[in-house]
Structure 1
Amino acid sequence: MLDLCMTVLDGVHEDRYLFRKELIKSISWLNNDDQEKFITWVREHFKNEHADVIDEILNTKYQFAS
């Protein structure tokens, strides 16, 4: 599931709206261990392009399933 989430996010990163939507969805689908790996990967790959979206999502208290 982690690989799928990475692939999907990489595929939509050019569209800000889809990036935000898929980031939320991906985090909610992953377990705690995979969430940590995914978040690290997201920050490394998209920090220059979508830093504000990443900070918004990761600093918001969404009810992510774990």
Structure 2
Amino acid sequence: MKVSFDRRLFEKELRKALNLLVPAEIQLFKEWCYSKFSSKYEPVLNKYFIGLAG
């Protein structure tokens, strides 16, 4: 599934993914998200990852 083309859809799918992950998985997911999507969606990523442990 390609969700990176639309900001609202990207944000919705990011929220869903974060709700499914256990805390131990979030840091790896965060690193992956920033490596793949920060050029286009860094403000969205910051909204969800700033303040999380790790």
TM class by shorter-chain length?
Answer: 0.7 to 0.9
Q: Distance in 1 between matches of 2:50 and 2:26?
A: 14
Cα deviation per residue 1:7-50 (whole Å; 9 max; x = unaligned)?
x5xx1010110100110110110011211111110011111110
Higher relative contact order (CA 8 A, sep 6+): 1
Identity among equivalent positions (%) equals 27
Relative distance call for 1:49 and 1:59 in structure 2 (3 A) is same
Moved over 3 A (4+): none
Give me the TM-score of the superposition, normalised by structure 1: 0.69
Q: TM-score, length-normalised on structure 2? A: 0.82
Instruction: Note the residue ranges of structure 2 that are not aligned, 5 or more in a row.
Output: none
Structure 1, unmatched stretches of 5+, are 1-7, 62-66
Aligned Cα root-mean-square deviation (Å): 1.7
